[in-house]
Structure 1
Amino acid sequence: MFGIYLKRELSRRKKAALVIAMGLALGIALVITVNSVSAGMNQAQDKVLKSLYGLGTDMTVTKAQSAPKAGSSQGPSFKFGATSSSSSSQSSDRVNTQGGQALASSLVTKVGAQKGVSAAVGALTLNVTKVDGSFTQGKAKSSTTSGSSGSSQQGGPGSGSGGGTSTGQPQVQGGGANFNVNSYSVAGIDVTNQTLGPLSTSKITTGKTFTTTQTNAKVAVVSKSYAKSKKYKVGSTFKISGTKFTVIGIATPNSSESTIDVYLPLKQAQTLGDSKNKVTTIYVKATDSKQIATVKSTIQKNISGTTVTTSADLASTVSGSLSTASNLATSVGKWLSIAVLIAAFLVAALLTSSAVSRRVREFGTLKALGWPSRKVTRQVVGESMVNGLIGGGLGIALGLAAAYTVTAISPKLTAQLGSTSGGGGGMGGGPGGGQGGPGQQATSNTLEIALNAPVSLTTIALAVGLAVTGGLIAGAMGGWRASRMRPADALRSVS
């Protein structure tokens, strides 16, 4: 009886039911869209942080660069030996540590022994500036002038007048220099643990990675973009400060950007940078991701003079359209969706209550026939629940359509990482802190991220819950009003 009557009443009031369902659907669709876009923002921010951090890295330990001494020069300096040949090719590499003041390698073990630390790995970041080209020696030539016979010349003893030649001062003609400057970044990694550190953000797509026995081997892994620019292949060789290295693998970064061009075993990088037993960044993995703040405090307390940077610290330096859109989605977007949802619930409740008012004769007659108040209330709540479920279905469909549209369009967002000093002092100062030539004290990275709007099962469950809640709220108000009607009201409404 209940089901038959429910079906009949909904069929009679299709327009009213559709209006209530559409109001709920719009509110639910907005919630789904905002949640999906927010999830996409979080994924985009994770990509930005992973491009700097390294997969599986929870924090880094660095030391800020000390201020240069007064009168000291921070600019590049190159020396070439003079030769007697008229044309001579010259080449020189200038290798500098990058990413902060060097730390003793022994600190890696000390950091790894701290409570809450699962693993710690050291890395050394270098910047190599290569200058090569050639000098061409100029030649000194004397210029001569001819005197005309009709001219009068004054000179010292022995000088004559009339025709003749005179010799001027010798002048250097020709010669010069033509040099190319190439700057690239090098990361020395611990080959015995490659799950942390700069190389962990990349995948070896050609060749192979380092083996645990190649701790001091003259081998290298190069990034895909750098290999393409230099036409390197597996087996190619190149030199850094006179040391020849063989390419054994080509790495493709997992993120859209990578600031490291060449990866070497840590000992080889330490030799090139004249930094024996030194590292610039210590990558740390915590045993529990929920205790990162506690581990950070422990490291700072027990190892003085260092800077510990977590993903939360680094996230605060991200600006650009990604940061702006994320703030809008988390603040304005969520509050807007809540406001619209509340409005949808209130509209549904008011429309249901209004519909009950127009059914005075119906409910009064039912009570006169013996229906108790609870049965009338159940009838109204049942109709509202059906309206709510219909609205939930429509809202999920609209929300999914909006989310898939955002994913299909994939709007591009830029993430501007806050400028980091060449001395480090944080994650941005390590591998991934930007690269620049010698003397460059401030660097910044701009990443371009495609925005997606993934819809999770949790979001769908939330939409269903909202649909049921909206139906219950509308049904409760309408049922309460219907339960207060008396049989006499039906007779009073008869004209």
Structure 2
Amino acid sequence: MFGIYLKRELSRRKKAALVIALGLALGIALVITVNSVSAGMTQAQDKVLKSLYGLGTDMTVTKAQAAPTDSESGRPRFEFDAGSDSDDTQSSDRVMTQGGQALKASLVTDVAKQTGVASAVGALSLNVTKVDGSFTQGTAESSTSGSDSQQGGPGGGQSTGQPRVQGGGANFDVNSYTVAGVDVTNQDLGPLATSKITTGKTFTTAQTNSKVAVVSASYAKENELTIAKTITISDTKYDIIGIATPDSSESTTDVYLPLKQAQTLADSADQVTTIYVTATDSKQIDTVKATIQKNISGTTVTTSADLADTVSGSLSTASNLATSVGKWLSIAVLIAAFLVAALLTSSAVSRRVREFGTLKALGWPSRKVTRQVVGESIVNGLIGGALGIGIGLAAAYTVTAISPTLTAELGSTASAGGGGGRMAGGGGPGQQAASSTMDIALSAPVSLTTIALAAGLAIAGGLIAGAMGGWRASRMRPADALRSVQ
């Protein structure tokens, strides 16, 4: 009886049922769209953070760079022999640590022992500035006068003015690139973790102090480097065994060396600049951070959440809009849809006074009338939920198909990456601002959790509308039906 009556009443009032369902559908579709876009923003930020941070890394431990003393300018110095008459090419490399003050390698073990830490690996970041070129000595020439009136007698000549140097100068190339010292015993964590070896092979655990190198794909292409070739750093040759391609973004590291070799190059034995850390529980990262800061003084612990706050550009703007404006807007629209559905249901009940009054006169109790109204509203809600899920999935698919490009600005650092500059004459080596801008294609993935949320909202909307309409229907009396008869 209940099902037959429900089907007949919904068929008889198709327009009213459709209006209620569409109102709920729009609110639910907006919730799905905002949630899927927010999930896409989170994925995009994760890609950005992986390029800064390292795949699987929960936090890093560093130490702020100390201010240089009067005797240390903090800049590389180059000395060349300009006394030779030859034009032989001269070359000099300067290797400097970057990314903060060096830490004792023993701190890696101390960090690994902290409560909540699953793994810790040390790495050494270096900047190598290579200057090569040659000096050309000039020729000193003086002008002479052959006038008889000058001293020196007839036909004599005397030098006039100061000697002038003709020709000469200097022509040097400057090439700066970054080097990362990798702990070859644990390459799943650290600077090489975000890259995949596309040519050759990676380090083996036996190559802790071998003269081998892995170079990034972009640096290899720029300098025409291939497997089996060598790269020379500070007069030390390293055999190239692999070419690494970043998984999600352009890596800021050009050359990877075993950690001990990098320490030897920088004259930084048993030192690291960064400690990469993974936590045993991703939900306890803040607690682990506080533990490390408390037990290992003088260090700075940076989590992925801290780095996320530094990301700016259109990605950050869109993320803020989706998180704040979008979610509040979807909540407001959803509440409005619920209220409209409730009011329309209540209004429909008011127009069915004769019907419900007659049913009560025939012996229907109030609870049965209420159940009938609630049942109709829940069906309207389920129809609205199905329409809303369909519209929401279509909107999310459209966003993914268009894949709008967002820009993530990570800030510029004073380092030169990969490229070379050219200077002539008496200029000195300079640094270029490394580009820290990334383009990320936005997607809008829809999870099962989001769909389940939409279904729950649809049922909730139907219950709210049915509760209001059922309450009104339960208050009707058989006498109301008699009054409505003309």
TM-score normalised by structure 2 residue count = 0.92
CA contact (8 A) 1:35 1:459 kept: yes
Q: CA deviation at 1:418?
A: 4.9
Which residue pairs with 2:262 in the alignment? 269
Which residue pairs with 1:89 in the alignment? 89
Instruction: Name which of 284, 294, 297 aligns with 1:301.
Output: 294
The code of the aligned residue for 1:320 comes to G
Which residue pairs with 2:406 in the alignment? 413
Which residue pairs with 2:425 in the alignment? none
CA contact (8 A) 1:133 1:177 kept: yes
Within 5 Å, which residues of 2 pair with 1:425-440? none
Q: CA deviation at 1:290?
A: 2.1
Aligned partners of 1:124 and 1:65: how far apart in 2? 14
The code of the aligned residue for 1:480 comes to W
Check 1:355–1:47 CA distance in 2 against 1; reply closer, same or farther (3 A cut): same
Which residue pairs with 2:225 in the alignment? 232
Q: Deviations over 1:1-24 (max 9, x none)?
A: 222222221112111111100100
The code of the aligned residue for 2:12 comes to R
Which residue pairs with 2:448 in the alignment? 457
Which residue pairs with 1:427 in the alignment? none
Q: CA deviation at 1:56?
A: 1.6
Check 1:75–1:154 CA distance in 2 against 1; reply closer, same or farther (3 A cut): farther
Q: CA deviation at 1:201?
A: 1.0
Q: Does the alignment pair 1:485 with 2:476?
A: yes
Check 1:301–1:275 CA distance in 2 against 1; reply closer, same or farther (3 A cut): same
The code of the aligned residue for 2:475 comes to R
Instruction: Name which of 169, 192, 203 aligns with 2:185.
Output: 192
Check 1:349–1:283 CA distance in 2 against 1; reply closer, same or farther (3 A cut): same
Aligned partners of 2:197 and 2:264: how far apart in 1? 25
Q: CA deviation at 1:179?
A: 1.3
Q: CA deviation at 1:421?
A: 8.4
Within 5 Å, which residues of 2 pair with 1:308-323? 308-323=301-316
Aligned partners of 1:300 and 1:273: how far apart in 2? 27
Within 5 Å, which residues of 2 pair with 1:330-341? 330-341=323-334
Which residue pairs with 2:424 in the alignment? none
CA contact (8 A) 1:76 1:439 kept: no
Aligned partners of 1:112 and 1:368: how far apart in 2? 78
Secondary structure of the residue aligned to 1:395 is helix
Aligned partners of 1:419 and 1:145: how far apart in 2? 60
The code of the aligned residue for 1:470 comes to G
Q: CA deviation at 1:439?
A: 8.1
Check 1:438–1:444 CA distance in 2 against 1; reply closer, same or farther (3 A cut): farther
CA contact (8 A) 1:133 1:178 kept: yes
TM-score normalised by structure 1 residue count = 0.90
Which residue pairs with 2:463 in the alignment? 472
Check 1:62–1:475 CA distance in 2 against 1; reply closer, same or farther (3 A cut): same
Check 1:239–1:421 CA distance in 2 against 1; reply closer, same or farther (3 A cut): closer
The code of the aligned residue for 1:378 comes to R
Which residue pairs with 2:49 in the alignment? 49
Secondary structure of the residue aligned to 1:121 is strand
Shifted more, 82-91 versus 440-449: the winner is 440-449
CA contact (8 A) 2:131 2:429 kept: no
Q: Does the alignment pair 1:241 with 2:234?
A: yes
CA contact (8 A) 1:256 1:449 kept: no
Aligned partners of 1:71 and 1:91: how far apart in 2? 25
Which residue pairs with 2:29 in the alignment? 29
Check 1:65–1:222 CA distance in 2 against 1; reply closer, same or farther (3 A cut): same
CA contact (8 A) 1:127 1:438 kept: no
Q: CA deviation at 1:165?
A: 6.1
CA contact (8 A) 2:174 2:429 kept: no
Q: CA deviation at 1:215?
A: 0.6
The code of the aligned residue for 2:114 comes to Q
Q: Does the alignment pair 1:15 with 2:8?
A: no
Q: Deviations over 1:59-92 (max 9, x none)?
A: 1111111111236423332111235344221111
Aligned partners of 2:163 and 2:435: how far apart in 1? 52
Q: CA deviation at 1:365?
A: 2.1
Aligned partners of 1:335 and 1:81: how far apart in 2? 69
Q: Does the alignment pair 1:213 with 2:210?
A: no
Aligned partners of 2:376 and 2:111: how far apart in 1? 64
Q: Does the alignment pair 1:382 with 2:375?
A: yes
Sequence identity percentage: 81
CA contact (8 A) 1:98 1:127 kept: yes
Which residue pairs with 1:137 in the alignment? 137
The code of the aligned residue for 1:376 comes to V
The code of the aligned residue for 1:407 comes to T
Secondary structure of the residue aligned to 1:99 is coil
Which residue pairs with 1:428 in the alignment? none
